[in-house]
Amino acid sequence: KVYEDVSQLPGLSYDFVVVGGGTAGNVVENRLTENPDFTVLVLEAGVSNEGVIDSIVPFFVTNLLQPNIYEWNYTTVPQPGLNGRNVGNPRAHILGGCSTHNEMGYTRGSADDYDRFAAVTGDPGWSWDRLLPYFFKNEKWTPPVDQHDTRGQYNPAVHSTNGIDSVSLSGSNWPIFSRHIIEATKQLPNDWSFNLDMNSGKPLGLGWIQTTIGGGMRSSSATSYLGPEFIHRKNLHVLLHAQVSKLADASRANGKLSFGGVQFLQGGKFFTGKAANEIILSAGSVGTPGILMHSGIGDQAALTALKTPTLLDLPSVGQNATDQPSVGLGWTVNSTQTLDSISQNSTRFDEAFAEWNRSHTGPFSAIGTTHMAWLRLAPEELGSNGFTDQSAGPDSPHIEPGGFGAPPGSHSIAVWIVVLNPLSRGSVTINSSDPFESPVIDVGFLQSNIDVFTGREAIKKVLNFFKAPIWRDYIIAPIVDVENLTDDALDQFIRNSASAAFHLVGTAAMSAKGARYGVVDSDLRVKGVSRLRIIDASVFPFVPSSHTQAGTYAIAERGADLVKKAWA
């Protein structure tokens, strides 16, 4: 059951306390409470997702990214690589976490990505082959809401219809634009081959977008893992408006640190949720390292400077922060079949909303993006410029010219270009001993020249894509003309316009047991602490060459299994 007030809870002593009812947290709590003998308390700082229309209607996705109560409203520190600009770093403050406000793209990444996880942790359980069953446990492949013929748009063999979180092809495509896109893959088969399914472990090429949408509505970890068939379990208690300040009741047994509970604030008062078995941090790539540091787990020198007593010197906490820089390009087009024809026209907007209210169909049932593409730079392109390949392997893309179709203005199309495997790293740290102060988020964007080079080559590839003959009568003009810029000018364009893809990971990264770096071991246990695990996107050792929710779900499914087995 979901509770709004701590006084409604039957008590504060549980077998497990999960911090954060977000994307990963809700998977963990669902799977743990499959065992009726386990009691689970979930502490979520944010608000309820019930009835939040901007979260339910896929077309309204960007409304949630404005400063509002559903957001922690973070920005990064000024980024030298972005000529001193800071960029937004949205994090959801609502049940379901970022799965309740993200852009719903469902992309797993490459098999190489996860095989690299297995290699750096020394645990084959994180390899693609061993994680695929966990992707399947999460995914409930669902027909698109318009029931269109999906043959030739995905490969059923790499999907599961038995999971919990709905994934579907778009229920509203833009036929003219889509025809052009697919024709362009035929005209440029070498660089832009068609890929039937980007979620097979081999994502290279261009294919139809898959999204976490079911029946024309967003499927989040809150609507799926806490759906009606689960939320009434007697052993599952989810408390909203409960912001965790730190781990509590520290003790040492056999030289190992452990915590008996979690301190949280609600309605101006502090409480402690007690965990007899384990505490699981699922507060995300910003929240989790912050809670660790405020609990005295982190770099000793930094904690001492803030007069926070160090209980465990673990310098990797908050380091290795990785997000993907992204730039947008747009073109005005010779077509009225563009999103702005709805978003800028109140009559058509009202019609589309009425259709969605009637049947959850029509343009509001989808996000407006039709396709995604995943490309590699040639090894010799990197080598001749003195760079080393940062991708996880030969089937992994370096760049995503994704999000084809979203409009920046009137009768126009846009492409978002993402540098998928940045070499630059940043950090999430604290500069106050007050746990309710915002953490310091530094995404370290474009500090490494290879990241700027990759962005520049990506832009050139996208410009070439729109030179395919099929676009001749469709594209009118670029919104910002970067065609004839020198490389130096293009680099400045990137530094002046890049923002984040919002795929922050790695701030509590896994490493091999015994490694002298990293925050959790390959069983997701915090190194040097007993009965404390981290299960969220912060444990990724590298950002996958994709968006991050599918990987987060798979990690959470396996993480929950590890916990269940430990306490079986």
Ligand X SMILES: Cc1cc2nc3c(=O)[nH]c(=O)nc-3n(C[C@H](O)[C@H](O)[C@H](O)COP(=O)(O)OP(=O)(O)OC[C@H]3O[C@@H](n4cnc5c(N)ncnc54)[C@H](O)[C@@H]3O)c2cc1C
- The CB-of-281 to ligand X minimum distance in angstroms stands at 9
Residues 267-286 that bind ligand X (CB under 6 A): 282-285
Q: Which of 32, 46, 140, 318 binds ligand X (CB under 6 A)?
A: 46
Residue 552 touches ligand X, criterion: CB under 6 A: yes
Going by C-beta distance under 8 Å and a sequence separation of 6 or more, which residues neighbour residue 566? 278, 523
Interatomic CA distance for residues 510 and 497, integer angstroms: 32
Residue 502 touches ligand X, criterion: CB under 6 A: yes
Secondary structure class of 495 (helix, strand, coil) = helix
Rounded (10°) angle between helices 449-465 and 487-497: 100
Q: Which of 99, 185, 322, 369 binds ligand X (CB under 6 A)?
A: 99
Among candidates 225, 84, 161, 197, which has minimal Cα distance to 552?
225
For CA atoms 285, 293, 27, 113, the dihedral sign is: positive
Interatomic CA distance for residues 166 and 211, integer angstroms: 8
Residue 291 touches ligand X, criterion: CB under 6 A: yes
Residues 390-429 that bind ligand X (CB under 6 A): none
Residue with tokens 């680099």: 491
CB 9 within 8 A of CB 270: no
Interatomic CA distance for residues 201 and 128, integer angstroms: 8
CB 434 within 8 A of CB 445: no
Residue 503 touches ligand X, criterion: CB under 6 A: yes
Residue 287 touches ligand X, criterion: CB under 6 A: yes
Kind and range of the H or E element at 108? none
Interatomic CA distance for residues 205 and 485, integer angstroms: 27
Tell me whether residue 224 or residue 332 sits nearer to ligand X (CB atom).
Answer: 224
Residue 507 CA to its chain's centroid (Å):
14
Q: Which of 92, 292, 468, 526 binds ligand X (CB under 6 A)?
A: 92
Residue 423 DSSP symbol: S
CB atoms within 10 A of CB 414: 20
Tell me whether residue 65 or residue 512 sits nearer to ligand X (CB atom).
Answer: 65
Residue 58 touches ligand X, criterion: CB under 6 A: no
- The CB-of-310 to ligand X minimum distance in angstroms stands at 20
CB 172 within 8 A of CB 153: no
Residue 506 touches ligand X, criterion: CB under 6 A: no
Tell me whether residue 277 or residue 499 sits nearer to ligand X (CB atom).
Answer: 499
CB 505 within 8 A of CB 497: no
Going by C-beta distance under 8 Å and a sequence separation of 6 or more, which residues neighbour residue 337? 174, 175, 176, 177
Q: Of the ranges 39-47, 300-308, 333-341, 475-483, which one interacts with ligand X (CB under 6 A)?
A: 39-47
Q: Which of 2, 18, 28, 45 binds ligand X (CB under 6 A)?
A: 45
Residue 19 touches ligand X, criterion: CB under 6 A: yes
List active site positions: 503, 547
Total number of residues that touch ligand X (CB under 6 A): 42
Tell me whether residue 360 or residue 503 sits nearer to ligand X (CB atom).
Answer: 503
Residue 105 touches ligand X, criterion: CB under 6 A: yes
Tell me whether residue 213 or residue 342 sits nearer to ligand X (CB atom).
Answer: 213
Q: Does the annotation flag 244 for ligand binding?
A: yes
CB 560 within 8 A of CB 540: no
Q: Of the ranges 88-96, 268-276, 320-328, 346-354, which one interacts with ligand X (CB under 6 A)?
A: 88-96
Q: Which of 536, 543, 544, 557 binds ligand X (CB under 6 A)?
A: 536
Tell me whether residue 456 or residue 547 sits nearer to ligand X (CB atom).
Answer: 547
Tell me whether residue 97 or residue 518 sits nearer to ligand X (CB atom).
Answer: 97
Q: Which of 314, 450, 470, 550 binds ligand X (CB under 6 A)?
A: 550
Q: Which residues are annotated as part of the binding site for FAD?
A: 244
The contact set with ligand X (CB under 6 A) reads 19-25, 43-46, 65, 90-93, 97-99, 101-105, 107, 243-244, 282-285, 287, 291, 502-503, 536-537, 547-550, 552
